[in-house]
Amino acid sequence: MATAAFPELDSAKESILVENLLQWSLANGLVIYPPDFKSYQPVSAPVTLFPTPFPRVAFKDADDVQLLFNELYAKVSSDLEFLSEIIDDLAKFDSGFTGKLWEIFLKAKKIGISQPLSLGIFRSDYMVNEIEGLKPQIKQIEFNTVSVSFGGLSTKVGELHRYLNNHGDYDIGEGTDKYYDEKDLPISKSITKLSEGLADGNYYYNDCVSNTKTVVLVVVQHKERNVFDQRLLEYALLTKHGVKSIRLTLSEIDSKTYIDPQTKKLYIKSTNDEVSVVYFRSGYAPNDFQNEQDWENRLTLETSKAIKAPTLLTQLVGAKKIQQILTDEVILKKFLKEKGESNFQQLLDTFVSIYPLDDSERGKQAKKLAFEKPGNFVL
Amino acid sequence: MATAAFPELDSAKESILVENLLQWSLANGLVIYPPDFKSYQPVSAPVTLFPTPFPRVAFKDADDVQLLFNELYAKVSSDLEFLSEIIDDLAKFDSGFTGKLWEIFLKAKKIGISQPLSLGIFRSDYMVNEIEGLKPQIKQIEFNTVSVSFGGLSTKVGELHRYLNNHGDYDIGEGTDKYYDEKDLPISKSITKLSEGLADGNYYYNDCVSNTKTVVLVVVQHKERNVFDQRLLEYALLTKHGVKSIRLTLSEIDSKTYIDPQTKKLYIKSTNDEVSVVYFRSGYAPNDFQNEQDWENRLTLETSKAIKAPTLLTQLVGAKKIQQILTDEVILKKFLKEKGESNFQQLLDTFVSIYPLDDSERGKQAKKLAFEKPGNFVL
């Protein structure tokens, strides 16, 4: 990598950079709807002018540890006994949302959950901890298990920065090499990988047969602005795997889908398309549920035979409280008993102290610390 | 193809079709800037909801005859003696524009034209003449030789309609096959082919060496709205051929480029990039020249060593008057003497009567006809 973190451009070159960046974004789907949008008019998605430098070793660590995290959260999602106690407690603190999700899960369990499989589409967020003389370390901020966004656009951001570099928009002098070495500008495979995940869901739903008659139902927010992030995955799913997707809001579920009472299979009413995977890009915030019918619809989906991405349990294990509990080495080892020391160390290295915000002694200490040195903490 | 020209959708399905069409367009660069635009905010380009049916045989004819037309216009462009008389005349009728272009060409000729090669990027427009019982025929409306637009977006329009068909948005019932057979939805190779044309220009400029140090200069209109149509060609040029392009308006030429007085090579000032091809997406309308300096800049480009797409002469042969004269079989045969009868027939079949709009007898007749039956004519 070049010596300075960013190329220093004069204002004329910076104007050209901005124009080239915006037009590439608009020509390549790196877009988002603005507030109060018209359906034919997006804006370019906000991005940095230059690629953000990130230590290669920390990048590699994040890449390496992801499968372990996926496995950990998948195992936690399956341990109902362990979860019941924690979430029962949590539900009391946040009865309007976590409590409701838990209540719907318990109802679904009573009715009967007809699909044993669940699809996890996860995103682990980090900041880098750089201390002079030490190897830079990734520290986990949060682990997301529902409606994980920007997997579509992030591939495009990498492509954008690479285009700008190839096009010479970062060049600071004549006759010089490109400012960035292309190998320092990785392009995320997120579009390919996440659409593969959805295609895998479809495949396992159909007993390991590549069925392109069944469809993926994308549950979206009303007036969703981040449509294109989702669309890029849907287009890859259709183009590369031949699997169609249908978009409905949570409140449209009862009027636009139906369930076969015998098989519990979920269908789209207008086309009789059978749904293999329900991909939630909604249902993660209290506002996504406008009324009791919306909760009822969530229950309908949970008890259907379609594979959920994610199930209510997988969504619930994304709670910060679970993240906190998993920083306990003893608990970690309980879930990953067959793993070796180096694997535990990989995970432990990404942890920082997480304080509860309850009335416990440690919760009280947390509040004190947060008020004294707010700059030291992530809420 | 299915029996009806278009699928008949109920209003619910039509709404979904419109939403899917708009979002695909916005995610895939099928966009344009609206009037008074902000650089970060395009709109979807206007397209038809359904593919427009076009007789296969006529489509094939248009495809087949294009190379002949290209050759014909290339030969006419090179016959200065033939052109001089016609354009001398024409220049008197339209002294403000055609006259000016001709004057600049004559000046350039006097100074010396240092580049013998010219790049033609053409588009031939047709309407179909359908008479019951006869084979549908293409009839040429006009032949474009400068700033040919929509080569970028037209590939995208084909991809859009194919996506909508694959996604089932044209399906009229359940369990049916796709409304259109995929082979009836051709996708134009225009992005690939036109960017190849520009890359070829770069190659021949460099004496048949694949040089990726020289750049293509795209001369654009001030506040161009059809940017993305052009960008799609530029991106393909960079991605597939490694050739960079720079965009400047005609009025920026004197301040942002310079010419080596010895070699007549054209360079971009800020980067010292050598220009191999000047691709005009401006300079075809009187408004594109705001003042004498703009005309001076056009002259500078014409006398530079860069290959022009097109040269002034090639631009001038796109005049309707030339198109009219070329419908004369004797003149046609003069330019394509080595061709066979079937080739002439191919060209002649696309011609309709073209009337002059001058004070000749035929011109007077034309005005009379146009006033009597305006619906029968294309102006």
Residue A231 neighbours by CB distance under 10 Å: 22
Residues of B within 8 A of A39 (CB-CB) are 18-19, 22-23
pLDDT in tens, A198-238: 999 999 999 999 999 999 999 999 999 999 999 999 999 99
pLDDT in tens, B194-247: 999 999 999 999 999 999 999 999 999 999 999 999 999 999 999 999 999 999
Q: What is the mean pLDDT of chain A?
A: 94
Residue A183 has pLDDT above 70, yes or no: yes
CB contact under 8 A, B39 and A27: no
CB contact under 8 A, B166 and A23: no
Closest CA to B247 of B227, B276, B266: B227
Tell me which of A7-16, A248-257, A366-375 is least confident. Answer: A366-375
Amino acid at site B182: E
Average the pLDDT over B13-33 and give the result. 97
Residue B142 domain-assigned? yes
Helix/strand/coil percentages in chain B, nearest 5: 50, 10, 40
pLDDT in tens, B155-195: 999 999 999 999 999 998 765 678 999 999 999 999 999 99
The CATH number covering residue A69 comes to 3.40.50.1760
Residue B362 domain-assigned? no
Residue A336 domain-assigned? no
φ and ψ at B79, to 5 degrees? -100, 85
pLDDT in tens, B266-296: 999 999 999 999 999 999 999 999 999 999 9
- Nearest Cα of chain A lies from the Cα of B41 at a distance, in angstroms, of 5
Q: pLDDT value at position A2? A: 43
Tell me which of B87-96, B106-115, B255-264 is least confident. Answer: B87-96
φ and ψ at A249, to 5 degrees? -85, 165
Residues of B within 8 A of A175 (CB-CB) are 272
Instruction: Give the number of domains in chain A.
Output: 1
Residue A352 has pLDDT above 90, yes or no: no
CB contact under 8 A, B163 and A231: no
| Partner residue opposite B167 with nearest CB, options A31, A163, A238 | A238
Q: Is A34's Cβ below 8 Å from some Cβ in B?
A: yes
Average the pLDDT over A76-102 and give the result. 94
Q: Is A222 left (phi over 0), alpha (psi -120 to 50) or beta?
A: beta
Which tokens in the block code for residue B37? 């635009």
Helices and strands per DSSP (H, E), number in chain A: 14, 10
Amino acid at site B301: L
Q: What is the mean pLDDT of chain B?
A: 94
Q: pLDDT value at position B49? A: 97
pLDDT in tens, A247-269: 999 999 999 999 999 999 999 99
Residue B1 has pLDDT above 60, yes or no: no
Residue A372 domain-assigned? no
pLDDT in tens, A20-31: 999 999 999 999
B224 is in an annotated binding site: no
- Nearest Cα of chain A lies from the Cα of B27 at a distance, in angstroms, of 4
Q: pLDDT value at position B176? A: 62
Cα–Cα distance between A205 and A308 in angstroms, integer?
Answer: 10
Residue B310: is the preceding peptide bond cis (ω within 30°)? yes
B144 is in an annotated binding site: yes
Residue A375 domain-assigned? no
Residue A379 domain-assigned? no
Q: What sign has the CA pseudo-torsion A163, A168, A172, A177?
A: positive
Q: pLDDT value at position A175? A: 59
CB contact under 8 A, B231 and A174: no
Q: pLDDT value at position B2? A: 43
Cα–Cα distance between B220 and B81 in angstroms, integer?
Answer: 31
Q: What is the dihedral of CA B315, B317, B321, B325, to 10 degrees?
A: -170
Q: pLDDT value at position B376? A: 78
Q: DSSP secondary-structure letter at B118?
A: B
* pTM score, whole prediction: 0.95
Domain that holds residue B290: 11-37+45-330
Q: Is B86's Cβ below 8 Å from some Cβ in A?
A: no
For residue B186, the SS3 value is coil
Which tokens in the block code for residue B376? 């029968």
Q: Which of residues 137-176 of B touch A (CB under 8 A)?
A: 163, 166-168, 171, 174-175
Q: pLDDT value at position A372? A: 87
Q: Are A181 and A161 in contact (CB under 8 A)?
A: no
Q: Are A57 and A346 in contact (CB under 8 A)?
A: no
Residue B338 has pLDDT above 80, yes or no: yes
Average the pLDDT over B321-337 and give the result. 93
- Which run of H or of E encompasses B64? helix B56-78
Q: pLDDT value at position A1? A: 43
**ipTM > 0.85 for the complex:** yes
Question: Residue A60 burial by CB count (10 A; 0-12/13-18/19+): exposed, middle or buried?
Answer: exposed
Residue B349 domain-assigned? no
Q: Is A271's Cβ below 8 Å from some Cβ in B?
A: yes
Report how far apart, in Å, the C-alpha atoms of B5 and of each of A49, B53, B179, B314 are: 48, 7, 10, 39
Average the pLDDT over A344-359 and give the result. 87
Average the pLDDT over A323-331 and give the result. 92
CB contact under 8 A, A270 and B12: yes
Residue A18 domain-assigned? yes
- Radius of gyration for the alpha carbons in chain B, expressed in angstroms and rounded: 23
The percent of residues in chain B predicted with pLDDT above 90, rounded, is 87
